[in-house]
Amino acid sequence: MKKLIKEYRSFFEKNNIRSIIEKNNQKILDPNFWKDKTSAQKVIKEKNFHEDLVKSFENSKKEIKDLSDLYDLAVDENNQTIIKELVKNCNELQIKSKKNEIKCFLSNESDILDCYIEIHAGAGGTESQDWAEMLKRMYLKWAQNKKYKSVIISEHKGDEAGIKSTTFQIHGEYLYGWLKSESGIHRLVRVSPFDSGARRHTSFASVWVYPIIDDSIEIDIKEKDLRIDTYRSSGAGGQHVNTTDSAVRITHLPTKIVVQCQNERSQHKNKETCMRMLKARLYDFELKKKEKEAESLESEKTDIGWGHQIRSYVLHPYRLVKDNRTNFESSDPDKVLEGDIDSFLESSLYN
């Protein structure tokens, strides 16, 4: 138990948690603090997050002391029933403390932001398009389980099943920090439900995660660098069907980044959403260059296929989900595809 609290304290000191809270308190005392509501809300969100961590830390220290005192008494009285119960409580406390320790890794400026998730089917037609839709469902189920809000911005259905591509946004606590490691190629191996010969197929889809930036982050976009196209959306039906060419696609010519939106009936609103997405993509592009996470964002996207996958989901001939970067594994792919990806996200934060 002493080792646990020592490790826990070291993470607080390493990540300057109390210092961050003090800086945010100073910002809130500024008479002009509420003039920029977007920036103020961001500061308060960050302050609350770190204060919750400190509160949990103090509670854990108290629990550890109480458990330690009770353990000494139980050992003196040789009460095995209480000793077993205390061991169980210690294990539960260690799990809770580990979760808070992981949150200490979310200290980058962009980690606090909400995020966009963009999914593209790889080569392979219906197989890959169905896989892309399975991934979309996995992330939306994860968000739903966390009670986070998600909104689909753009989607192109597959010719027979699944989706060719989709973009959606998720709003919640430190979402970009949690999900940024999901960017990459995801590989599925299974017996195809679309193959009458019941043969095994390998499918690929790309997932790209971008932070939703606010007005406090300035991104310079020149009008001459943009190509703006409008087109008729191809929704699945219902109240969001567009009857005019209201969908918008914007291409940033210098970087070849393309964003599109079709979820609003108004072309103007779709264009506004596209511009926000483009700013987010450009911000993420620069982050990745600075952090040297890849040689370049576009070179990562050149091939959605063999040799590029970050995670494999095998449903046949055995059942396993394995992250190729961290080597973390799960033998229950059904549970993972239902949105239980926390263990994969946590293992990525440690690496």
Q: What is the pLDDT of residues 135-157, one digit of tens each?
A: 999 999 999 999 999 999 999 99
The pLDDT value recorded for residue 304 is 59
The pLDDT value recorded for residue 48 is 82
- Tell whether the model's pLDDT for residue 265 goes beyond 90: no
Strand ranges inside the chain, DSSP E: 115-121, 149-157, 163-171, 184-191, 200-211, 226-231, 247-252, 257-261, 309-314, 320-323, 329-330
Q: What is the pLDDT of residues 53-88, one digit of tens each?
A: 788 878 887 888 888 888 888 888 888 888 888 888
CB neighbour class for 77 (10 Å; exposed up to 12, middle 13-18, buried from 19)? exposed
The pLDDT value recorded for residue 109 is 75
Q: Mean pLDDT score of the chain, rounded to an integer?
A: 84
**Termini Cα distance of the chain:** 25
> What does the angle CA 76 – CA 79 – CA 81 come to, to the nearest 5 degrees?
150
Q: What is the pLDDT of residues 100-137, one digit of tens each?
A: 777 777 777 788 889 999 999 998 789 999 999 999 99
Residue 168 forms beta bridges with which residues?
117, 152
The pLDDT value recorded for residue 210 is 92
Residue in the block written with tokens 């293992």: 347
The pLDDT value recorded for residue 294 is 42
The pLDDT value recorded for residue 153 is 93
Residue in the block written with tokens 């609350």: 48
| pLDDT, greater one: 253 or 159 | 253
- Tell whether the model's pLDDT for residue 20 goes beyond 60: yes
- Tell whether the model's pLDDT for residue 349 goes beyond 90: no
* Strands of the sheet with 184-191, listed across from one edge: 149-157, 163-171, 115-121, 200-211, 184-191, 309-314, 320-323, 329-330
The pLDDT value recorded for residue 244 is 59
Query: Hey, is 71 helix, strand or coil?
Result: helix
Q: What is the DSSP letter of 182?
A: G
- Tell whether the model's pLDDT for residue 7 goes beyond 70: no
Q: Is the pTM of this model over 0.85?
A: no
Q: What are phi and psi of 247, to 5 degrees?
A: -70, 145
The pLDDT value recorded for residue 245 is 72
List the single range of 96-100, 201-205, 296-300 with lowest mean pLDDT: 296-300
The pLDDT value recorded for residue 26 is 86
Query: Hey, is 250 helix, strand or coil?
Result: strand
List the single range of 44-48, 174-178, 286-290, 301-305 with lowest mean pLDDT: 301-305
Domains (range + CATH), the chain: 2-103 (1.20.58.410), 115-350 (3.30.70.1660)
Confidence of residue 11 (pLDDT cuts 50, 70, 90): low
The pLDDT value recorded for residue 296 is 46
Q: What is the pLDDT of residues 218-262, one digit of tens each?
A: 788 899 999 999 987 655 444 444 445 789 999 999 999 999 998
Confidence of residue 311 (pLDDT cuts 50, 70, 90): very high
Separation between Cα atoms, residue 341 and residue 346, nearest integer Å: 9
